[in-house]
Structure 1
């Protein structure tokens, strides 16, 4: 399996869930984005900004959680998928860190947000969970969060929500969504290799749900409160303007989240691979 495909002329290797590819990207035009680069809407933009903060450290957590059990994975196909998963997550972190540099240059309180996020999530919450429930729970939380990111990616692609973003930010979000779909079953399959406990899977997913929604909403509103261009009037104008996107995104995410509770659930059941292939070709 080829673990690296360099971008040249935007000719990217197609999506293949059984043999994922690490695509090294370079979204060098991010410095040209405006303050409210998604649909000229502060509410939606700062929701995306919240994920720029969450992803780099979050993906390093995913890598650590999966690597902790990689020596127990004996299936050669899954071993290769784990390697590609790690490679893709490393690249995602790098590109979102570039976005954070741009946001910091715009005057956003990125360092304070990262300090809060890292301390509460990785210096406090994760160690407590590991102490109480062991490393398997961290893997279960990772599998649950991967279901959320892949589900969000599929909704974003299905309804072409990425087209609301400007320039290279559009391409970054599209690429990330495609690769989340491509590797969405890796952490889940490692978890199933280690333990097939339904209770462990669902407990991890419930914690993942609190993390996914809690941090994203909190950080979104931190961005909004710190945005000097957003007053009370614009906040409610943009909240109202975001409703068409919200009416598509949130019901779809909720229905896909409920699928995770099915005893026989597997991420492959949600599909999305053809959708990701078609979207990736537009970068």
Structure 2
């Protein structure tokens, strides 16, 4: 019953996905603590970044495989564009991560090796399991995205605009493909219970690897060993949980459809502004992406 309803909704409303170049530079002068007032939070975001070059190629391979089994041309196009957009994401994260490794964070090498082995093992699981994982992770991501975009002034005020602009670009595009993993799952391997388990599997696994990554970063900083640093991390983790939990709980409801979750108006402003800028400037032709003004009282879109 749930799968039929979800597929009908998917047939009725497919959101366009635009593939944009990750045109951001990460020169040597970018600090690991790129939010000077919140170094622990910056390292938590950095930790999540280290997961992306392992998670997102897995998602791309999974949805590309599923796409070959999809007969609906709209959903097949969704899957294709998702793969192209996610490829831009993990390539850009890889460049950013390499800039952090160059600063001496050698503790991440062992974590990345473990992640690579874990995702290689996950890639051998049945397609239905992998699609449920993808849909579950994307459900959590939608909650985190909406929370971070809505609270961008609190989170990114005074941050290095080069990194903040890169992170918010990725978050905006997460809202663009918020439907895809769910639609592909319903089209290829529908079923409520597997999808519900995928919400836990995908969300908790990514949280696990993000935590291992930022703990390695903070250990090298000497901040994980202090009571103050640990309390600040726990505080930020609680805020992330509060921000993502409503979307996770909604994803567990039978008949859930990501179309029912609205995103902040700033996302629409960013997408429209980028489209105008691309029509008139060099983005998409090798030009750098305009940067946010993280010193602004409103932090408007940078176009």
State the TM bucket, normalised to the shorter chain: 0.7 to 0.9
The answer for the alignment partner of 1:45 in structure 2 is 42
Q: Residues of 2 paired with 1:17 and 1:43: CA distance?
A: 38
CA distance 1:246–1:111, shift in 2 (3 Å): closer
Residues 174 and 279 in structure 1, CA contact (< 8 A), matched pair in contact too: no
The answer for the alignment partner of 2:246 in structure 1 is 255
CA deviation string 1:3-42 (max 9, x = no partner): xxxxxxxxxxxxx962111001221145332231124333
CA distance 1:30–1:147, shift in 2 (3 Å): farther
The answer for the alignment partner of 1:111 in structure 2 is 109
2:127 counterpart of 1:135:
yes
Q: Under a length normalisation based on structure 2, what TM-score does the superposition of the two structures give?
A: 0.78
The DSSP-based 3-state class of the residue aligned with 1:72 is coil
Pick from 245, 258, 274 the counterpart of residue 265 of structure 2. 274
Pick from 51, 56, 70 the counterpart of residue 54 of structure 1. 51
Q: Residues of 2 paired with 1:171 and 1:25: CA distance?
A: 11
Residues 135 and 185 in structure 2, CA contact (< 8 A), matched pair in contact too: yes
- How many pairs are equivalent? 259
Which stretch of the first structure deviates more once superposed, 109-118 or 166-175? 109-118
CA distance 1:257–1:105, shift in 2 (3 Å): same
The answer for the alignment partner of 2:136 in structure 1 is 144
Q: Residues of 2 paired with 1:258 and 1:28: CA distance?
A: 37
The answer for the alignment partner of 1:13 in structure 2 is none
2:92 counterpart of 1:95:
yes
* Deviation for aligned residue 1:164: 5.5
Aligned-residue Cα RMSD (Å) equals 2.3
The DSSP-based 3-state class of the residue aligned with 2:28 is helix
The answer for the alignment partner of 1:7 in structure 2 is none
* Deviation for aligned residue 1:273: 6.2
The answer for the alignment partner of 1:179 in structure 2 is 173
Q: Residues of 2 paired with 1:41 and 1:47: CA distance?
A: 10
The DSSP-based 3-state class of the residue aligned with 1:171 is helix
The answer for the alignment partner of 2:151 in structure 1 is 159
The answer for the alignment partner of 2:7 in structure 1 is none
Q: Residues of 2 paired with 1:178 and 1:117: CA distance?
A: 25
Q: Residues of 1 paired with 2:133 and 2:112: CA distance?
A: 20
Q: Under a length normalisation based on structure 1, what TM-score does the superposition of the two structures give?
A: 0.83
CA distance 1:122–1:78, shift in 2 (3 Å): same
> Structure 1: 5+ residue runs without aligned partners?
1-15
* Deviation for aligned residue 1:125: 4.4
The answer for the alignment partner of 1:12 in structure 2 is none
Equivalent runs, 1:59-78 vs 2, <5 Å: 59-78=56-75
> Structure 2: 5+ residue runs without aligned partners?
1-12, 274-300
Equivalent runs, 1:3-18 vs 2, <5 Å: 18=15
* Deviation for aligned residue 1:113: 2.1
The answer for the alignment partner of 1:84 in structure 2 is 81
* Deviation for aligned residue 1:214: 1.4
